[in-house]
């Protein structure tokens, strides 16, 4: 079974992620609970994004490097494509199985972060702004959506790059991600009126450090980011179908 191959390649990375999650949970249990009535002030979502972005980006980068692209140019790749399966099967098997593992890790990480907030704030975090109060369950669902779109982007880009340049795909993907970060900083400095899309979307508008409402055009942003994330495996499939395997 082909997904067994992807599992053998990714299981060490997944095991390290699970161990890190377990260690994080133990550390959270050691956080002293806050006095009753204490609540988080200001925009705590900036902290959530900071806590989630880097570990999830690293894991998505690693998981995106596994699969067919890892085998191109050697005997394993040539053997794989003698199997009675289409090349699209290999691409979407890699993508679906890798994203399923990332989904499990991401949901566990979001729950850990929200649990840490609950201990610090002496209760589940409830985001409030004029005319609206977002319940804890809705907050978790929104964060899971946000991080999965982010993971899909990094995972898909790395997977596509692994097919473009074979064994150097991880470095190409890291270079492209870093280049976009630098471009964002430069544009912000010289053209402050130009808004560059961030890697991880925010669910809320913030003014003066306080949440004032849901992000503008959030549904449209989710659809657009999902389309971009799916464009990479589609492009990988098209490229792989045209490529001769040595």
SS3 134: strand
Angle at 182 between CA 178 and CA 185, to 5 degrees: 140
**What percent of the chain shows pLDDT beyond 70?**
80
Q: So what's the pLDDT on residue 186? A: 93
Q: Residues 219-243: pLDDT tens digits? A: 888 999 999 999 999 999 998 887 6
Q: Residues 149-206: pLDDT tens digits? A: 999 999 999 999 988 887 788 899 999 999 999 999 999 989 988 888 888 887 777 7
DSSP of 65-91: TSSHHHHTTSHHHHHHTTSSS-HHHHH
Domain ranges of the chain: 2-12+40-242
Query: What's the predicted TM-score (pTM) here?
Result: 0.86
- Quick one: which of 199, 196, 206 has its CA closest to 52? 199
In the predicted model, what is the mean pLDDT of residues 196-217?
77
């Amino acid at each position: 079974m082909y997904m067994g191959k992807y599992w053998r390649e990714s299981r060490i990375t997944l095991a390290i992620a699970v161990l890190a999650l377990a260690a994080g949970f133990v550390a959270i249990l050691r956080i002293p609970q806050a006095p009753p009535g204490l609540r988080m002030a200001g925009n705590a979502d900036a902290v959530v994004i900071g806590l989630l972005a880097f570990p999830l980006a690293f894991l998505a980068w690693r998981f995106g490097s596994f699969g067919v692209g890892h085998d191109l140019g050697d005997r394993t790749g040539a053997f794989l494509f003698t199997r009675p399966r289409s090349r699209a099967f290999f691409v979407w098997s890699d993508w679906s199985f890798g994203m399923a593992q990332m989904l499990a890790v991401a949901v566990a990480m979001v729950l850990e972060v929200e649990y840490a907030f609950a201990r610090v704030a002496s209760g589940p975090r409830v985001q409030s702004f004029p005319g609206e109060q977002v319940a804890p369950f809705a907050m978790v669902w929104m964060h899971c959506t946000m991080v999965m779109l982010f993971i899909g982007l990094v995972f898909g880009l790395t997977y596509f790059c692994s097919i473009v340049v074979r064994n150097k795909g991880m470095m190409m993907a890291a270079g492209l991600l870093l280049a976009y970060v630098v471009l964002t900083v430069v544009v912000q400095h010289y053209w402050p009126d130009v808004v560059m899309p961030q890697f991880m979307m925010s669910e809320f508008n913030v003014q003066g450090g306080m949440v004032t409402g849901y992000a503008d055009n959030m549904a449209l942003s989710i659809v657009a980011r999902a389309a971009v994330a799916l464009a990479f495996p589609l492009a990988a499939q098209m490229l792989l179908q045209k490529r001769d395997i040595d």
